[in-house]
Amino acid sequence: EDKVVQSPLSLVVHEGDTVTLNCSYEVTNFRSLLWYKQEKKAPTFLFMLTSSGIEKKSGRLSSILDKKELFSILNITATQTGDSAIYLCAVVDSNYQLIWGAGTKLIIKP
Amino acid sequence: DVKVTQSSRYLVKRTGEKVFLECVQDMDHENMFWYRQDPGLGLRLIYFSYDVKMKEKGDIPEGYSVSREKKERFSLILESASTNQTSMYLCASGTGGVDEKLFFGSGTQLSVL
C-alpha cells in the first residue's frame, strides 16, 4: 500500500532557529512530490519536486528530493512566528492521485 | 487571484440530518476534490471529479456522495450525518496533468452532535 510519512509530527522551536522537516514515501509509481503550508485556512502550495538533488528555493524555504532513498526535506532558515503552520507533504503517482502525509505541526516561539 | 470558495466555515448538525457542503472554483479547472482532515491522519480523499457529471471514489467514500452538475461547482453530501463524520472538510481544485497543483478552499469545520 502506498504511504507517505512525515516527521516529526510536531515541532516547537524559537524564532531564528533553522528547522528541517522530513517526508519519506513508499509509492509504487512516483511522479512528483509536493509541499504545502497550512495556516488557519487553506493549504497553500510551496514546492513541486520531480528530480533528485535539485534544490528548490523560495526565500528562507528550500526543499530537496532524494529518489534513491525515497524522501524529501523542507528546510526553513531564520524562522519567524509567521512560519507557524502545518506543513503537508504529498506524493503524486502516475495516475495523478495524491497520497498525503499526516503533516508536521510547526510552532515558532517568539 | 485563484479562488476556491466553500459555502460555510463552521456547521453544526444533528445525527441523521442530511448535510450539503458546497464548493465553487473560478479557475475553470477540470479536477475537483473533497478531503477530510483529522488530527494525525492528514488529508484523506473522499471523492474527486475530473469532469462535469463524472465522479470517482477516493479512499473513504462510505457515508458520502457528491454531485457535479456544473464545472465550477462540486458538492459533498452526507445523506445521514453521524458523529464520526465530525471533521474539517477541504475542497480543492486542480489543473490536472503533469503540473498538477491543488488550490484549496478555506475548509468547513463540521460538528455532528
pLDDT tens-place string over residues B18-42: 999 999 999 898 899 999 998 878 8
The residue written with cell numbers 468547513 in the block is B108
Q: Where are the beta strands (DSSP E) in B8-81?
A: 10-13, 19-21, 23-25, 31-38, 42-51, 54-57, 65-70, 73-78
pLDDT per residue, tens digit, chain A (110 aa), is 889 999 999 999 999 999 999 999 999 889 899 999 998 778 888 999 998 998 999 999 999 999 999 999 999 999 999 999 999 999 988 877 888 999 999 999 99
Of A32, A48, A102, the CB nearest to B42: A102
Say if B23 is an interface residue toward chain A (CB within 8 Å).
no
pLDDT, mean of residues B67-72? 95
pLDDT for the residue B43: 87
Q: What is the distance between the alpha carbons of residues B23 and A57, in angstroms, rounded to a whole number?
A: 32
Predicted pLDDT at A109: 94
Pairing relationship of beta strands B65-70 and B108-112 according to DSSP bridges: unpaired
Q: Is A5 on the interface with B (CB under 8 A)?
A: no
Closest CA to B91 of B82, A23, B110: B110
Q: Which of A44, A97, A100 sits opposite B42 (nearest CB)?
A: A100
- Is the Cβ of A86 closer than 8 Å to some Cβ of chain B? no
Cis peptide before A110 (omega within 30 of 0): no
Mean pLDDT of B33-52: 89
The CA distance from B99 to A89, in Å, is 16
Q: How far is A99 from chain B (nearest CA, A)?
A: 8
- Residues of chain B with pLDDT > 70, as a percent, come to 94
**In Å, how far is A44's CA from the nearest CA of chain B?**
7
Instruction: Look over chain B and give the mean of its residue pLDDT values, rounded to a whole number.
Output: 91
- Which residues of chain A lie closer than 8 angstroms to B35, CB-CB? 100
pLDDT mean over B5-15: 93
Q: What are the CA-CA distances from residue A109 to residues A10, A16, A79, A83, A87 (Å)?
A: 13, 9, 9, 10, 17
Q: What is the mean predicted confidence (pLDDT) over B76-97?
A: 92
- B77: contact with A, CB 8 A cutoff: no
Higher pLDDT, B2 or B93: B93
